[in-house]
Amino acid sequence: MKPLFQLTRSSMIWLLVSILLVTIPFISILPGWLYLLAFLTVGWRLMVHSGRWNFPHWSVRFGLLLLVLLGLLFELRGGSVMAVTVGLLVSAFLLKLTEMYRRRDALVVIFVAFLLTVCSFLFHQSIPMALYALLCLIVVTACLNTVYRSQQNSDVWRPLKHSVTLYMQALPMMLVLFLIFPRIGPLWQVDLNTGQSFTGLSDSMSPGDVSRLTRSAEIAFRARFDGPPPPENQRYWRGLTYDRFDGRRWTRSGLQTARLSDSQMSVGGQKYNYQMVMEATGQPWRYGLDIPMVYPANIRRITDLTLVGKQPLMQRAQYQLVSQSGSIREPLSAERYAEYLQLPRQGNENARLLALKWYSETTGAKDLSLKMMAFFASEFRYTLEPPLLSSANSIDQFLFQTQRGFCGHFASAAVFMFRAAGIPARVVGGYMGGELNPLDGALTVRQYEAHAWLEYWDRQDLSWHRLDPTSVVAPLRLEQPAEQLFRTESAFLADALMMR
């Protein structure tokens, strides 16, 4: 069948550029065979445009549709529901090219391109992604403009210039709306890993994130030791570390993905042999008692001592570990040394000055840690409901004004000050404590026992040392079950009222 509506040369060019741009953000998400479909459908449409081929017969289109649906059903067995849903949208987007008879068919493809541009934010949220999405919108709008242009107008660049002009005119209104429009929370949420809802640690942390986990009594994991479990004040369950700070949130950098062998470090202290039963998190990391030394073959230990599985944990898993307490002797490369000193160029000037003043009065990292702990022990208060902090100078505001916070506030502020003084440090997220079952000797750790502490690196012994400001602000947190300590806080177990 011949097309009833023939795209102009510029329309075809901008349509192909639009298809390329809007699908690039999904390269790491969509199955590889979809790109074979893209090659087939785009190639066929080009041949139709050149007059060499006709549109495919309905039976061919129906066959392609069946193959796509079967492929997506197969992907659904072990993949993300959201990724498969976007894959279905991209497939329909591409298949529509094979039946573009009328102008309205071209408009459908263009409008789906707009929708896919928005869908990219489901997987990537960053300033570069926002700028890239703006580029996609400009190009797709240029394509929309060409659909209504006559065959005689062959200027390829004119639609793009017109599109840029439109967006420049809309820019002031966009900025006004960005500043004054309220940030309304979503009416619904979708988990991007599986469509399931998981409670637990995230790969980024702001000071208030850990306290929100105290609203949940869900089990995080269970541990059964071959011998006596560690004392209550030594039950630090390592999750993951955060080494990059943007002034508001702590995140993980790409320097922490390499495997760390035992030959690169040494640990001294009590050994514990135990079995872990960990609940699903939808994340690849695995929890273990600080510091994991022996672990299964399907788990690797990376440079920050985080345990990482080969796949995200989608269901309850059991694994055997051997951990050893004590400090971690580990020489740092120049690159990692610099990474653990990273701070924003500006902001929190009072905290920086205080850290430098303390460091000038001490002989090293150990003495600085003592000054810091004495400072936290003086006027600070431990609470699940701290006041809100401004994003610009949140560390200064916490240290010198509110002086009320949860473990994440103290760990974040301490790492900032260590780094300001020129001492490598990192935030560690995990859990603290565990309820001992006297019948089988197993420790049960729940989400409300989520905790954050820090590690600083001492150049005198080339070792990482754990430091927990909570131990001086709220020493009972290390000695009592969290359920007893927080029972008077209104935010505690707010999502599990039947347990209060």
Show which residues are catalytic.
Answer: 407, 451, 468
d(CA 87, CA 113): 13
Q: Is it true that the peptide bond before 395 is cis, omega within 30 degrees of 0?
A: no
- Contact (Cβ atoms closer than 8 angstroms) between residue 278 and residue 316: yes
Which residues are CB-contacts of 365 (< 8 A; sequence separation ≥ 6)? Answer: 418, 423, 456, 457, 458, 459, 460, 465
Q: How far is CA 3 from CA 17, 53, 232, in A?
A: 21, 11, 75
Which residues are CB-contacts of 205 (< 8 A; sequence separation ≥ 6)? Answer: 242, 249, 250, 251, 408, 412, 427, 429, 452
Residue that the structure tokens 């003084």 belong to: 421
Which residues are CB-contacts of 229 (< 8 A; sequence separation ≥ 6)? Answer: 223, 235, 272, 274, 434, 436, 441, 443
Sheet holding 307-309, edge to edge: 285-286, 307-309, 299-301
